[in-house]
Amino acid sequence: MKKFKGLDCILLVDDDEVTNYLNKVLIKKSGIDVHVEVALNGEIALEYLTSTGKYSGNNGFPKPGLIFLDINMPRMNGWEFVEEYSKLDSNKKADIVIAMLTSSNNDDDVNTALEKYELPAYLYKPLTLEKLEEIISKFYPVEV
């Protein structure tokens, strides 16, 4: 088991349960010691980050160091989530890395993510061990 400094939790935001399941298996397989939380849309993800709604009273939650965010989701999609997220208090979002994880290779989407919202990463599905390790080593280089 490997543990990276500052990375206590990975939040998977995707409405597809199978994808979430597979990504959980993948993270487990990678041997990284980290809590994995799943949110089926942007709204639930926000509730997790702010300890509201379904997560009210959950103050001891591990704060995610990495969010894998799908674009196309019901209720609140990836872009709407990013909009709402940017309004949060800075202490709630400090040090969180948001990575788009989508099957869209539409140029518009890539540009929106990287230029408009200045997201640090844009990954194509499916997530693989290589992609996971690359993004973690980039943003959480210190192994403890």
Q: Which stretch binds another protein (CB under 8 A): 1-9, 16-24, 115-123, 132-140?
A: 16-24
Q: Is 126 in the site for another protein (CB under 8 A)?
A: yes
- Compute the distance between CA of residue 47 and CA of residue 66 in angstroms, rounded to an integer: 16
Residue 96 CB partners (closer than 8 Å, separation 6+): 63, 64, 65, 66, 67
DSSP, collapsed to helix, strand or coil, labels residue 32 as strand
Q: How far is the CB of 116 from another protein (least distance, A)?
A: 20
DSSP, collapsed to helix, strand or coil, labels residue 80 as helix
Q: Is 111 in the site for another protein (CB under 8 A)?
A: no
Q: Is 103 in the site for another protein (CB under 8 A)?
A: yes
Q: Is 64 exposed, middle or buried (0-12, 13-18, 19+ CB in 10 A)?
A: buried
Fill in the amino acid letter for 63.
K
Which is closer to another protein, CB of 19 or CB of 41? 19
Q: Of the candidates 8, 9, 22, 120, which one interacts with another protein according to CB under 8 A?
A: 22
Q: Is 104 in the site for another protein (CB under 8 A)?
A: yes
- Compute the distance between CA of residue 41 and CA of residue 138 in angstroms, rounded to an integer: 26
Q: How far is the CB of 66 from another protein (least distance, A)?
A: 20
- Find the binding residues for another protein in span 24-63 (CB under 8 A): 25
Query: Could you write out the DSSP letters of every residue in 84-123?
Result: HHHTS-HHHHTTPEEEEEES---HHHHHIIIIIS--SEEE
Q: Is 141 in the site for another protein (CB under 8 A)?
A: no
Which is closer to another protein, CB of 46 or CB of 73? 73
Q: Which residues contact another protein by CB under 8 A?
A: 16, 18-19, 22, 25, 72, 103-104, 125-126
